[in-house]
Amino acid sequence: MAQTIKLKRSAVSGNIPNSSQLELGELAVNTTDGRMYFKDGTGNIVWVNKTSEVTATAPTSGAGYPVGYVWYVV
């Protein structure tokens, strides 16, 4: 029998989880805004951007990309 995995979620526009609501690496989703968040190793809530970019190098500090920009190193 298949199991359903439910992430922490909100359907209220603009709702963002705070660090006390998520464990390290736990995911949350705002279904109205289409945004996913997770708690990083420093306790910050990070937005996982819907747009990602495939690149051969990781971004440098101050590259001007928005917080939560997803990078894939190939």
User: For residue 22, is it within any domain?
Assistant: yes
| Residue 5: predicted pLDDT | 87
* 24 within some domain: yes
Question: Is residue 17 in a domain?
Answer: yes
Q: Is residue 2 part of a domain?
A: no
Residue 45 and residue 16 in contact, taking contact as beta carbons nearer than 8 Å: yes
Q: Which tops the pLDDT comparison, 17 or 56?
A: 17
From CA 8, how far away is CA 28, in angstroms rounded?
A: 5
CA distance readout (Å), 55 to 52, 65, 67, 70: 10, 14, 17, 10
Count of structural domains, the chain: 1
In a domain, 1, yes or no: no
Residue 34 belongs to some domain of the structure? yes
Report yes or no on 41 lying in a domain. Answer: yes
Q: Which residue has the higher pLDDT, 64 or 31?
A: 31
Span 49-54, average pLDDT = 55
Domain that holds residue 45: 8-73
* 45's tokens: 């809530």
